[in-house]
């Protein structure tokens, strides 16, 4: 059976997850459910990035040992993904023994290739980004993302000869035009690789927290270098059998971390003699008044609160429909409510309840309510294609266009008037068409809105069919 390995970034655990983090995991979950439905053997990995200095600072603030802090936070994050029904198969923690082994194996392979050397580093470092910064990356001397002044660092570091991989990377981009998506990310990276690529520091001297550099206890492996390797840890690397899953079919990431994933990571893999991922897709940011939603800017929105107020599917619907995956967009509670009332309560919810209410009221028996018409097949096929191409908004739009078609079918046939005229056969024909259409909608939504799809499935298989005992989405005022 063909495999499908999909990864999400592993998050820093210096605070609780916000909707920006959950966004990527929801998208990954849609893909995972979709490919499982297609019969593929899926591995969905997520997890936490524990060796960061940010986590050390967060533990210090709480006055507890770092290990104890990250142990607790790993549970918090795992629970957040569980509560959202993210169907991950692997939850990786970078303080685990397996991960340490994978990191050390990869560094050894790169050392054997002659790609690692000891040098002096002097420059800026933003702990918020966990990134070495050049002067030109700063605005008024501050990191534009975290709005803080970076530290100045002077120390011995191990370096990776990234610049040696410039031509091979450009060749990879030329050979696989779909490897880095969307075009905005690809173009940015092509210009970075062409004009700016240089060797990078991959260790931090005297840093106590983090994976030890092979044969040099004084250095910790640079946290990004360690974190990227999690994608291999999950496959069992360096143990035999890791090729069952490697290379990844898709790395989903946020647009702020493209340099790490679309230049440094492929170069690391080339250096270690490993295959490159098939696709890397960078999504955009959720913003509030134009600022990235972020724990450090203090504008984070807790996904759990929205789930309590609405539901998991409502949050999934809003995040996936509001903004094309790959673009940025503002998060707005008003827009969420508008979409909820307009598209979920009045749109889908109303179609399902009025259709089934009429079936019940006019005592219509529907043969094969789950039989999918040609139009229904097309809907399922089209939504599947959109999902495959990361166009979740278009997949949902397609379903909602079909809801409008079914509503129009009812409105023009006016079953209530047919009932007055005693035209039972005609009512049966119209309502059968709509009920089967609803079944198709249920199938098309299986990976996008799994709870709603399940409810629809239960409603259309009930004997006899009857109006839902409570609305799928109750209107909110």
Please say which residue, 10 or 403, places its beta carbon nearer to ligand MSP. 10
201 binds ligand MSP (CB under 6 A): no
Please say which residue, 11 or 100, places its beta carbon nearer to ligand MSP. 11
78, 101, 146, 389: the catalytic one is: 146
Active site residue 99: no
24, 54, 99, 143: the catalytic one is: 143
330 binds ligand MSP (CB under 6 A): no
- CB neighbour list of residue 357: distance below 8 Å, 6 or more residues apart: 467
Distance separating the N- and C-terminal Cα atoms of the chain: 49
Element (H, E) at 159: strand 151-160
Q: Point out which residues pair with 252 in neighbouring strands.
A: 281
Stretches 254-262, 273-281, 397-405, 439-447: which one binds ligand MSP (CB under 6 A)? Answer: 254-262
219, 292, 312, 394: the catalytic one is: 292
Please say which residue, 264 or 435, places its beta carbon nearer to ligand MSP. 264
Q: Point out which residues pair with 204 in neighbouring strands.
A: 220
24, 34, 99, 129: the catalytic one is: 129
Active site residue 18: yes
Please say which residue, 287 or 455, places its beta carbon nearer to ligand MSP. 287
Please say which residue, 20 or 450, places its beta carbon nearer to ligand MSP. 20
34, 54, 99, 126: the catalytic one is: 126
- Output the residue with the shortest Cβ distance to ligand MSP: 254
Active site residue 34: no
Active site residue 24: no
Active site residue 337: no
| Residue from 286, 310, 340, 402 in contact with ligand MSP (CB under 6 A) | 286
Q: Residue 360, preceding bond cis, omega within 30 degrees?
A: no
**Per-residue string for binding with ligand MSP, 16-45, x by CB under 6 A?**
----xx-xx---------------------
DSSP codes joined into one string, 249-285: SEEEEEGGGHHIIIIIHHHHHHHTT-PPPSEEEEE--
Give the whole-angstrom CA distance, residue 228 versus residue 259.
Answer: 12
13 C-beta neighbours (distance < 10 Å), count: 25
Active site residue 129: yes
292 binds ligand MSP (CB under 6 A): yes
Angle at 77 between CA 72 and CA 82, to 5 degrees: 125
Please say which residue, 248 or 293, places its beta carbon nearer to ligand MSP. 293
Stretches 9-17, 414-422, 441-449, 466-474: which one binds ligand MSP (CB under 6 A)? Answer: 9-17
Stretches 8-16, 156-164, 179-187, 302-310: which one binds ligand MSP (CB under 6 A)? Answer: 8-16
Q: How far is the CB of 96 from ligand MSP (least distance, A)?
A: 15
**Alpha-helical segments (H) within 290-373:** 303-309, 312-322, 333-339, 350-361
- Pairing relationship of beta strands 286-288 and 291-292 according to DSSP bridges: antiparallel
- CB neighbour list of residue 268: distance below 8 Å, 6 or more residues apart: 106, 110, 160, 225, 228, 229
Give the whole-angstrom CA distance, residue 382 versus residue 387.
Answer: 9
| Residue from 44, 127, 227, 445 in contact with ligand MSP (CB under 6 A) | 227
Give the whole-angstrom CA distance, residue 208 versus residue 55.
Answer: 13
248 binds ligand MSP (CB under 6 A): no
257 binds ligand MSP (CB under 6 A): yes
Distances (CA, A) of 22 to 29, 36, 78, 282, 320: 10, 21, 11, 14, 11
Largest CA distance in the chain: 89
54, 295, 312, 394: the catalytic one is: 295
Give the whole-angstrom CA distance, residue 245 versus residue 42.
Answer: 9
Judged by DSSP in three states, 212 sits in strand
Handedness of CA 148, 154, 156, 157 (dihedral sign): positive
Which runs of E-coded beta strand occur in 319-468?
329-330
169 binds ligand MSP (CB under 6 A): no
Q: How far is the CB of 163 from ligand MSP (least distance, A)?
A: 22
| Residue from 6, 10, 27, 234 in contact with ligand MSP (CB under 6 A) | 10
Q: Point out which residues pair with 4 in neighbouring strands.
A: 42
List residues binding ligand MSP (CB under 6 A). 9-12, 20-21, 23-24, 49, 227-228, 230, 253-254, 256-257, 285-286, 292-294
Catalytic residue IDs: 18, 21, 126, 129, 143, 146, 292, 295
């Amino acid at each position: 059976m063909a495999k499908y390995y999909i990864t999400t970034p592993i998050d820093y655990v210096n605070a609780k997850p916000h909707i920006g983090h959950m966004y990527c995991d929801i998208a990954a979950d849609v893909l995972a459910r979709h490919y499982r439905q297609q019969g593929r053997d899926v591995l969905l990995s997520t997890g936490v990035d524990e060796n960061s200095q940010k986590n050390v600072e967060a533990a210090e603030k709480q006055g507890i040992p770092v290990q104890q802090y990250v142990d607790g936070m790993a549970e918090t994050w795992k629970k957040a993904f569980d509560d959202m029904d993210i169907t991950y198969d692997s939850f990786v923690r970078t303080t685990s023994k397996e991960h340490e082994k994978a990191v050390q194996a990869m560094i050894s392979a790169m050392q054997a290739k002659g790609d690692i050397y000891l040098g002096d580093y002097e420059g800026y470092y933003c702990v918020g980004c966990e990134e070495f910064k050049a002067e030109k990356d700063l605005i008024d001397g501050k990191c534009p993302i975290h709005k803080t002044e970076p530290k100045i660092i002077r120390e011995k570091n191990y370096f990776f000869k990234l610049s040696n991989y410039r031509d091979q990377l450009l060749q990879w981009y030329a050979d696989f035009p779909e490897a880095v998506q969307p075009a905005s990310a690809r173009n940015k990276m092509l210009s970075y690789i062409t004009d700016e690529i240089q060797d990078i520091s991959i260790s931090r001297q005297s840093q106590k927290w983090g994976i030890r550099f092979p044969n040099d206890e004084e250095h910790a492996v640079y946290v990004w270098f360690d974190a990227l390797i999690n994608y291999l840890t999950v496959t069992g690397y360096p143990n035999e059998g890791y090729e069952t899953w490697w290379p990844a079919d898709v790395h989903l990431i946020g647009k702020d971390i493209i340099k790490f994933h679309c230049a440094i990571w492929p170069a690391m893999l080339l250096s270690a003699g490993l295959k490159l991922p098939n696709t890397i897709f960078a999504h955009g940011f959720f913003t509030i008044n134009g600022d990235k939603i972020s724990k450090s800017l203090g504008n984070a929105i807790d996904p759990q609160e929205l789930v309590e107020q609405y539901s998991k599917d409502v949050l999934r619907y809003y995040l996936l429909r509001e903004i094309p995956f790959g673009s940025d967009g503002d998060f707005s509670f008003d827009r969420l409510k508008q979409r909820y009332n307009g598209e979920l309560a009045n749109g889908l919810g109303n179609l399902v309840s009025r259709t089934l209410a009429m079936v019940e009221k006019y005592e219509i028996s529907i043969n094969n309510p789950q039989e999918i018409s040609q139009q229904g097949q097309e809907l399922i096929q089209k939504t599947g294609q959109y999902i495959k191409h990361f166009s979740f908004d278009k997949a949902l739009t397609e379903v909602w266009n079909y809801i409008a078609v079914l509503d129009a079918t009812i409105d023009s046939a006016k079953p209530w008037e047919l009932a007055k005229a005693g035209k039972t056969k005609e009512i049966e024909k119209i309502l059968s068409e709509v009920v089967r259409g609803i079944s198709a909608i249920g199938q098309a939504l299986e990976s996008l809105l799994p709870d709603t799809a399940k409810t629809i499935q239960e409603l259309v298989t009930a004997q006899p069919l009857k109006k839902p005992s409570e609305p799928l989405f109750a209107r909110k005022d």
